[in-house]
Amino acid sequence: MTVTTLSAGLVALGGGGALAAQSAPSYTGKPMPAHVAAPYFEAWTGESPATLAAESGNKYLTMAFLQTAEAGSCTAYWNGESSQPISKATFGGDIAKIQARGGNVIPSFGGYSADTTGTELADSCASVDSIAKVYESLVTTYGVTRIDLDIEADSINNTAGIDRRNKAIAKVQHWAERTGHRVQFSYTLPTTTTGLAPSGVALLRNAVDNGARVDVVNIMTFDYWDGATHDMAADTETAASGLHDQLAALYPKKNPAKLWHMIGVTEMPGIDDYGPEETFTTQDALTVEKWAVAQGINTLSFWALQRDNGGCVGTAGANSCSGIAQDTWQFSHTFEPFTRGAGVS
């Protein structure tokens, strides 16, 4: 996804880094619900995630993005801004407020901007250990229990970065087992209407080969850019079904229900970057939420919370409004009931 036009995926403004993680002998971070609605929050706007979460009724947010300030760095910052390190001074108060209400945030690395400038953490940093330490620092600093990796554009074809990232995930998972922490990893990936492109499958195959557990594969069901007029709800279902078949080949020991529970979908409310031919309506949201419950998928999201209003009817790909007539927070209210089920670590 991009900051200006979310072309083919979620935008990246963030940073990588070899921040020292603090280990603890035990950890009580609340696991994510078995089924969770967690829209993306555009962290570069200067708005308070806790305030918008409360106003919109969202208990969980995916916060975008973290990346390095420059290619070659191993230091991660929120929005790629050196003034916004991974520390309690940056978003710590907001995250604590969200957690006090029974929710949590999912920090997200990458996005279109980072993925096209060499500033996605694993593309930028050549040290697997340093990448792992950054991921660990998020868990110990903020008490989060899931990390999202938005990999698209150049990053999804960067085989060296993919391999480093998956090796780092495996290291963090071993660290979590040793120290009593909980951490899940989700991959947010571009999709076709029938499932992942070969590059996405190859990324997941590398994770399997590296012993990295991928808890959720979250597909961006928008910005298809194929010249067709889309029924966006129907295409969400076919894309997810295609992903289910692809996951079955990658994880042959998992039964169909467990495979569905690995799947997440992220919509773009209203008119996406391509234009009116790709419009996700308020009725589509109702359809997708019911389908998501019936299929038992893991995560339901949209890009982005700041777009969840009808303030710019007819505008495609805006960052601050959906481009369609809607009530403020209508998509949030439609997706919020999806959050349910006992937490899983």
Q: Which CATH number is 332's domain given?
A: 3.20.20.80
The answer to whether position 115 is within a domain reads yes
* pLDDT tens-digit series, residues 214-228: 999 999 999 999 999
Residue 47 has pLDDT above 90, yes or no: yes
Structural domain that includes position 190:
32-340
* pLDDT tens-digit series, residues 80-102: 999 999 999 999 999 999 999 99
Burial classification of residue 342, based on how many CB atoms lie within 10 Å of its CB (0-12 exposed, 13-18 middle, 19 or more buried): exposed
CA angle at 61 for the pair 317 and 161, rounded to the nearest 5°:
75
Mean pLDDT, range 194-209, rounded to an integer:
98
**Cα-only R_g, the chain:** 18
The answer to whether position 301 is within a domain reads yes
Band (pLDDT 50/70/90 cuts) for residue 259 is very high
Please tell me the pTM assigned to this model: 0.93
The answer to whether position 269 is within a domain reads yes
The answer to whether position 12 is within a domain reads no
Identify the weakest region by mean pLDDT among 6-15, 47-56, 96-105, 139-148: 6-15
Question: Between 221 and 9, where is the model more confident?
Answer: 221
pLDDT of residue 345: 58
The answer to whether position 291 is within a domain reads yes
**Residue 79: how many other CB atoms lie within 10 Å:** 24
The answer to whether position 14 is within a domain reads no
* pLDDT tens-digit series, residues 108-146: 999 999 999 999 999 999 999 999 999 999 999 999 999
| % the chain with pLDDT above 70 | 91
The secondary structure element, H or E, covering residue 175 is helix 159-179
Average pLDDT of the chain to the nearest whole number:
93
Q: Which amino acid, 49?
A: P
| % the chain with pLDDT above 90 | 90
User: Nearest CA to 222 among 133, 116, 331, 114?
Assistant: 331
pLDDT of residue 28: 55
The answer to whether position 152 is within a domain reads yes
List CB contacts of 308: < 8 A, sequence separation 6 or more.
Answer: 39, 56, 269, 302, 322, 326, 328, 329, 330, 331, 332
pLDDT of residue 91: 98
For the chain, the residue count is: 345
User: How far apart are alpha carbons 297 and 319 in whole angstroms?
Assistant: 27
The answer to whether position 19 is within a domain reads no
User: How far apart are alpha carbons 185 and 202 in whole angstroms?
Assistant: 17
Domain count, the chain: 1
Residue 252 has pLDDT above 50, yes or no: yes
